[in-house]
Amino acid sequence: MNTHPDATRWDARYLDNINPWLPREPRQLLVDYAHLLPESGLALDAACGVGANGHFLALRGLRVIALDISLVALRMAVEWGRTHACQLDAAVYDLSAPWLPPERFDVILNFHFLERACIPVFRKALKPGGLIYFETFMSLDKDLEYPARYLEPGELRTIFQDYQILHYAESMLPAKQNGYEVGMAQLVGRKK
């Protein structure tokens, strides 16, 4: 049993109400730039949740390794994949202390998750010519409760400045009830 606080929190969230989690659509960024994907190869879906993005890749012919801290989410992802002939290799993995083999992946996905320790690991794990799809929240308010979970404006572009940037965008999101101003940063990049 995983007693990591994030695992406990996410497992409870998935178990609380399973219905809205499945089926899930892949992120629009991935759909919009799917024409860049290779027809085969190895992909990593980091912090995959119930695996909608990984399933999308698997259905396109990629072998997908799906990592998440939540065993409940991974079980849902694997089961959905079985019933839709769309296999994922899933593993419970704490991405706060990551290790991945160098130059192994053709595609890496990172959606709505930020662990800065992963970024240099992702950069090394991506093969030359490989693609990274990265979309996560951006801080526009210095008083956020957990500022380390947010990118700074322009940070994502700077991190991947030595990649071929195929898409980059930053946008504002509607203010939530807590009143914090947040945005979304998106990047699709090819490792040179």
Q: Where are the domains of the chain?
A: 5-15+23-190
Please report, as a single letter, which amino acid is at residue 149: R
Quick one: pLDDT at residue 30? 98
Half-sphere exposure of 30 (CA within 13 A, CB side): 25
CA distance 21 to 84: 16
Question: Within 116-184, where are the H helices?
Answer: 118-125, 155-159
pLDDT tens by residue, 104-115: 999 999 999 999
Q: Which of 28-32, 44-48, 61-65, 71-75 has the lowest mean pLDDT?
A: 71-75
pLDDT at 175 exceeding the cut of 80:
no
Quick one: pLDDT at residue 85? 87
pLDDT tens by residue, 15-46: 676 655 566 799 999 999 999 999 999 999 99
Residue 144: which pLDDT band, with cuts at 50, 70 and 90? low
State the fold for domain 5-15+23-190: Rossmann fold (3.40.50)
